[in-house]
Amino acid sequence: MAKVTINGIEVEVDSSMTVLKAAEKLGIVIPTFCYHPRMDPAGSCRICAVELEDSKRVVMSCVTPVADGMRVLTESPKIHDARKTNLELLLLHHPLDCPVCDCGGECPLQNMSFAYGATETRFESHRNDEPEDIKSDVLVFNANRCILCGKCVRICDEIQDVHAIGFINRGFDTIIGPPLGKKLDCEFCGDCYEVCPTGAITDQFTRYKYRPWQLEKQQTTCAYCASGCQIFVETENEAIVRVTSREGVGPNEGSICAVGRFGFNHVQIPERFDTPYMRSLHRLVPATWEDVLPEITARLDLIRKKGTDRVAGLISTRVPMEDAYVFQSFFRKVLRSNMIDSGARFGFMNAALPLVSATGTLRPLVDHEDILKAKVILVIGTDPVAESNISGLFLKRAARKERAKLYVVDSEAITLSTRAKDHIRLLPGGEKLFVSVLNEEIARNGALSPDWTARKEELFKNWNVDPGAYQRLVNDLTSTETGIIVTGRKAYRNENGSSIMNSIVRLIGSLGWAGKVGSGLFLLPENANDLGVLMMGGTHEWLPGLINATDPSSKSRWESAWGRRLSYGNGGSLGDILKGIEAGQINALISLGENPLSHFPSGSKVRETLAKLDLLVVLDLFQNELSDMAHFVLPVSSSFERGGHFVSAEGFVQPIKATMAHWGESLPDWEILSKIAHGMGESLGFESLESITAEILRFLPDLVPSSRNGAHYQGPTGEITVPVMSKTPPHKADRESVSVKYAQWQSGTVSANGEVHPILGEGDFILALTKSLFHSGKMTLMDPNLMEIQSEGKIRINRQVARKRKIKKGERVTVRSSFGSCSMIAEPSSSVAEFEVLFPSHFANEVVLGLFPPDLAFDRETGVPVQHRVRVFLETQNPA
């Protein structure tokens, strides 16, 4: 500890601290340009100068460590002169085009020049007239305005770990930009543009469209992935102009990804439904709510009187908790149907079911902070950077800055593999074997039965697993103090997803991590509110609070809570719903933003099945295959227009806010359902969103909103108060009860010769549908900004293989499977495995889905559709 005196106030601080941080502790603000709390200090802008009283020297506070007995002045005539001179020098080449600069009005350089009165310069120089670099479709670099603080370069290196931009040239000619004057090619997170203290980096989407003082700022939660990023939506006249983040606020600590930052425009394009539509003479015609609601009500009323489970419901996992709660109440109370399912059924249920049966909760055992503290991290079956970008950032930081031993098990070289200690590059299809052998090895402490030994040998021989790396992984996992397994989409969307997730959950138990603080499983859901919708009982298995929906004793708990008898049927998942419709037992389907047609190939006859419905009501934002078939299409609010709460992957229950005006006549889902229920003469008892939240919290008090780094910002305009570190109530699962439950669950043994779903078809390659970094589901395909970043799906193929087969970049290739064929644009990539080809699932339209086996197959345990990969041949189209 060191005692320092700053401006006459004595403070005792850690001796490793810098003067700047010591002053921050006292609440003294020292102006900075190049300092950034999450990065190493650079000391390049020379504006944080302070005076040492004893030696009368001027030093840079951001790089000077404190010393015992140090006496510092942060404001003095000498400091004032030093800063002013500095500003004059910074402004020497600065173009002073503030009126047209997007940063003008929120520019630290502008504010500082104003504060220090650096209006005239005593130096002779010329203004820079470098042309702007507008080659990139996303970011614009203006070398004239740059003050070379290096923040953008450092955030790209240290936080994002992407290394896309750097200093070019030397001396007066130094500029910032992508190397070799090329077009910028990076993750387009826009963090460089966020931290830039001048207007040197701006973005193409909002360029010249706003002035900062016109914008109204509101904090909300990003509705794309489950990282739970806190974003600031800035609107002018209730239309969204841009999305920004704020340093240190939220679980994301101020970083957001490309999708969150630029994907806001799809909610305000003319293609969006702005009025209800009703089918009349085989055409959908615009109608009013007054026409549509009584009609739906009357038809639903007739159908529900036929018996229980007559109406099926699908809910997207992008809706807030409150809407999911109303959705299931409406179905179970009013329609007496348990035929409900959520978008999580397309994959996440594979993970949720074993996890809930093992731990009793969907809340995670670990969060991002634990990732930073973990000694060993195993990333298996996921590409965190693409799936949940901010979790990916924490993993990068853990591996790079905190020196965690990172293991990546994946067929593809994902972004994290270059930071990994070992990248176990197994062949596609061997995932299930790998995790089950790993679990058995750890559970039996290495003493494998002959059956299992044979399987392990198979792993090394057939699936390309390096025995040395495998052994290192086993040793590290068993000997570590704290370890985390990260898994996600690739694991639970695998054709063996259910058993892979089962083995991974077992593995946590075998390692004894259930009871070990700081260790556990970090599961990356697909959508923003996968956890929330399931917690609210969005599927037939569970009532709100993950209580078994069919067991009479657990059902009676909700019956007494709601004060009414629940007389719904046994219910069923997506597969049962389709079967029920086919058999005529289900006559109506209400879909809240979920489109099953986009997941199944046309040969699977899902369209024909759905055509048998007497009533199909679709609540959605955009026209899609399902809405084309619908009898009624109802416009719903997007996540930017309504309130509610999302549950993030870390277990935080974070609010979303209405930030823009309602689009046309759109309404939130809960309001539409309440109105329909009201029309049927039943009241759900919800007058406002607050009343739903209140009811949820009354019955499930552990869902009290929580967040990291910052109380939620309240109020229409103005400054956001300094973030308060608040972590109560706990967002993580209760470790004690989880470890008790785990012990009960861990009883059975696993057979070495369990059933394996093979990858179907034949061909040289395995085609997998992956998640792209720049899209999220199919909704973002409607976003003009994100379509600018990535406008089409390209099939990624191993570079060497492409060379051998003479497939060039951008060339069209024919992809042929046993079930169909289609033409795709090839993109050779060094990260893809030799026997694999990858295609972004967002662009998987009917033609691409036609490559997949047409028969509907669902996992027996979890009801998740199993076709996720298929074997294909590649043929070049040009014979030359």
Interaction site with other proteins (CB under 8 A):
95-100, 104, 127, 129, 131-132, 134, 144, 207-211, 213-214
User: Whole-angstrom Cα distance, residue 310 to residue 300?
Assistant: 9
Nearer to other proteins, 5 or 128 (CB): 128
Three-state secondary-structure class, residue 232: strand
Closer to other proteins by CB, 206 or 494: give it: 206
Question: What tokens appear for 21 in the block?
Answer: 């941080």
Query: How many CA within 13 A on the CB side of residue 460?
Result: 11
**Min separation Cβ 100 and other proteins, Å:** 4
Residue with smaller CB distance to other proteins, 31 or 104: 104
Cβ atoms of residues 176 and 165 within 8 Å: yes
Q: What is the CA radius of gyration of the chain?
A: 29
Tell me if 48 sits within 8 A of 35, measured CB to CB. Answer: yes
**Comparison of 104 and 381: residue with beta carbon closer to other proteins:** 104
Alpha-carbon distances of 311 from 48, 326, 332, 336, 569, rounded to whole Å = 66, 16, 10, 8, 11
* Cβ closest to other proteins, residue 96 vs residue 722: 96
Shortest reach from residue 97's CB to other proteins, in Å: 5
**Residues near 60 by beta carbon (within 8 Å), at least 6 away in sequence:** 43, 46, 48, 49, 50
- Nearest approach in angstroms of CB 775 to other proteins is 25
Q: How far is the CB of 109 from other proteins (least distance, A)?
A: 15
Q: How far is the CB of 5 from other proteins (least distance, A)?
A: 43
Amino acid 361 reads: T
- Could you give the CA distance from residue 113 to residue 87 in angstroms, rounded to a whole number? 7
- The region, left, alpha or beta by phi > 0 then psi within -120 to 50, assigned to residue 512 is left
Measured from the CB atom, the residue of 144 and 160 that comes closer to other proteins is: 144
Amino acid, single-letter form, for residue 151: K
Least distance (Å) from other proteins to the CB of residue 30? 30
Q: Pick the closer one to other proteins by CB: 77 or 270.
A: 270
Nearest alpha carbon to residue 559 among 699, 768, 655, 378: 699
Positive or negative: CA dihedral 677, 681, 687, 691: negative
**What is the Cα–Cα distance from 795 to 692, expressed in whole angstroms?**
45
Cβ(115)–Cβ(149) under 8 Å? no
Structure tokens at 213: 């003082």
User: Residue 396 and residue 825: Cα distance in Å, rounded?
Assistant: 31
Give least dist CB 218 to other proteins, A.
21
Alpha-carbon span 863 to 521, nearest angstrom: 23
- To the nearest 10°, report the CA torsion of 185, 810, 835, 506: 40
> For residues 178 and 668, which CB has a smaller minimum distance to other proteins in the complex?
178
The nearest distance, CB 105 to other proteins, in angstroms, is: 9
Nearer to other proteins, 43 or 95 (CB): 95
CB atoms within 10 A of CB 466: 15
What minimum distance in Å lies between the beta carbon of 206 and other proteins?
A: 10
CB of 127 to other proteins, least distance (A): 5
Cβ closest to other proteins, residue 93 vs residue 333: 93
